[in-house]
C-alpha cells in the first residue's frame, strides 16, 4: 500500500518535470530562430540625376534591349536616347524612381505590353562645391551622392575656420536652373550651435561658399 502511494506521489512530479523540459525546448527553439532583421542600405531611388551620370536600364525578359541600355551616359542637355524610341528622354530634375516610370510610359503600350523596368545609377559625375575665403584649406569639396552635403560639413572638410574668419556672414552663391545666380548670407555660427544640423543648409553642385574675415 505504501509503495503504491509512493508511486502516486512521484507521478505528478514526473509530469511537471516533463512539462518543464518541453517548455525549455520550445523556448530554446524560439530563441534560436529569432534573429535581428537586417537594415537595408541607403536607397538611391530618390537620387536626382544630372549630366555626366551613367545609368543602366533593364527590362525583364528583354535581353536584346538591355544590352543597349547597360551604360547610358546622360548628355549635357540632360537627355538619353533609348532603343526603339524616336525622341530622347529628358531627365532634367528627375529622380531614379521617376525615370523608371518614364521608361515604362514610353515603351507601353506601343512596344511592350507590361514592361517591368529597373533603373540604377552605375556611375555618378563628380559633384563639388567651392569653399573659399577664411578657411584653412580653400578647396573643392565633393558631394556624396548617397547623402548629400551641408554647409557646415563643407566648411569642416575645408579645414575649418581661420582665426580671423567671420562665420556670421558666410555668403553662398548658387546658379539656378534658369542660369540666374542668387546669393544668400548665412549665419554659420548659428548653425554650429545646433549639432543636430536642423538649421544647416543643404548644398547643391557648383555652390560657391565664401567666408569673409573679421572687419577690424
Question: What structural domains does the chain harbor?
Answer: 54-123 (3.30.1950.10), 128-211 (3.10.560.10)
Specify the pLDDT at position 162: 96
Judged by DSSP in three states, 107 sits in helix
Q: Is the pLDDT of residue 21 over 90?
A: no
Q: What percent of the chain has pLDDT over 70?
A: 79
Specify the pLDDT at position 43: 46
Cα separation of 47 and 118, whole Å?
14
| Model pTM score | 0.57
- In this structure, the dihedral spanned by the alpha carbons of residues 88, 89, 93 and 97, taken in order and rounded to 10 degrees, is -160
Task: Provide the CA 78 distance to its chain's centre, in angstroms.
Answer: 21
Cα separation of 94 and 184, whole Å?
26
Specify the pLDDT at position 31: 33
pLDDT tens track for 101-130: 999 999 988 888 888 999 999 988 888 999
Q: Look up residue 44 and give its three cell numbers.
A: 538611391
pLDDT tens track for 25-73: 434 433 333 223 322 333 467 888 889 999 999 999 999 888 999 999 9
> Do residues 152 and 188 touch, judged by C-beta distance below 8 A?
yes
Specify the pLDDT at position 118: 93
Judged by DSSP in three states, 5 sits in helix
Please report the DSSP string for 27-96 in residue order. Answer: HHHHHHH--PPPPPPPP-TTPBP-TT-EEEEEETT-HHHHHHSSSEEPPTTSEE--TT-SSPEE-TT-BH
Specify the pLDDT at position 45: 76
pLDDT tens track for 72-85: 999 989 999 999 98
Judged by DSSP in three states, 185 sits in strand
Amino acid at each position: 500500500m505504501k509503495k503504491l502511494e509512493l508511486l502516486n506521489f512521484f507521478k505528478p512530479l514526473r509530469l511537471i518535470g516533463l512539462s518543464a523540459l518541453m517548455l525549455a525546448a520550445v523556448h530554446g527553439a524560439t530563441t534560436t530562430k529569432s534573429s535581428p532583421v537586417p537594415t537595408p542600405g541607403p536607397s538611391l531611388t530618390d537620387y536626382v540625376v544630372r549630366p555626366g551620370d551613367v545609368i543602366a536600364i533593364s527590362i525583364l525578359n528583354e535581353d536584346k534591349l538591355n544590352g543597349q541600355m547597360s551604360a547610358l551616359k546622360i548628355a549635357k542637355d540632360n537627355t538619353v536616347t533609348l532603343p526603339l524610341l524616336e525622341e530622347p528622354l529628358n531627365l532634367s530634375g528627375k529622380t531614379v524612381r521617376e525615370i523608371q516610370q518614364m521608361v515604362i510610359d514610353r515603351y507601353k503600350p506601343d512596344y511592350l505590353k507590361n514592361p517591368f523596368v529597373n533603373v540604377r545609377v552605375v556611375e555618378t559625375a563628380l559633384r563639388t562645391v567651392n569653399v573659399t575665403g577664411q578657411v584653412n584649406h580653400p578647396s573643392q569639396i565633393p558631394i556624396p551622392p548617397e547623402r548629400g552635403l551641408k554647409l557646415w560639413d563643407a566648411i569642416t572638410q575645408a579645414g575649418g575656420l581661420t582665426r580671423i574668419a567671420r562665420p556670421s556672414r558666410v555668403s553662398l552663391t548658387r546658379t539656378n536652373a534658369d542660369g540666374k545666380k542668387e546669393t544668400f548670407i548665412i549665419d554659420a555660427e548659428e548653425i554650429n550651435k545646433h549639432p543636430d544640423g536642423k538649421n544647416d543648409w543643404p548644398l547643391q553642385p557648383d555652390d560657391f561658399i565664401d567666408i569673409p574675415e573679421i572687419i577690424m
